[in-house]
Amino acid sequence: MTDISDHAEAGVYHKQGFGTPLPVQGKVGLLIIDFVVGFADPEVFGGGNIGPAIARTVDALALARRNGWPVAHSRIVYAGDGSDSNVFSVKVPGMASLTENNPNSAIVPELTPENGELVVRKTVPSAFFGTQLAPWLTERAVQTLLVAGAVTSGCVRASVVDAMSYGFRPLVLADCVGDRAIAPHEANLFDMQQKYAAVMPLADAIAAIEEA
């Protein structure tokens, strides 16, 4: 993650009051966004640091399961007949290929959901838009939402902004999110930390949760 001190504009952010810490509070949940086969494959939608982020998320998922935290996953799933084509699939036509039975739309085997974990299907970047994710988390009293997934600059960012808008406290696990290019990954981690979320590696998040 790029530290604010590395930015020429750091003084502007500090002066205007951005980057206030967002401590862990209340019950913790985990959201894993679009870690599917197609996003793990550099020949499809992957590349960059997505592979290492998936590997690190294996540890985050194991931690959540050991602690009994609510866990939700998301997938991009379009109708096979194109009936739900939208602006997202017009802008990125390949997204429409992620249909229910396309292997590229399946969650990667190492993060296969277990019984009781929510899987939401979506056709837009945010895992919250038009899904049951927010009420599901609310029913389980989640306040702090750990976020992993792909890509940092797209579906992760959109979901973090919506999580904050719904009143959850997003905590982006910096080593559990990835992007097909590193520059947008780092820029969006920086920006989310300043405006919408706490951002830290999994090890630091564990320490913060234990302290809370």
State the catalytic residues. 155
Q: Is 31 left (phi over 0), alpha (psi -120 to 50) or beta?
A: beta
- Eight-state DSSP code of residue 131: S
CA distance 160 to 126: 8
CA distance 209 to 65: 15
Question: Which H or E run contains 72?
Answer: strand 71-76
CA distance 97 to 94: 6
Question: Which H or E run contains 143?
Answer: strand 142-150
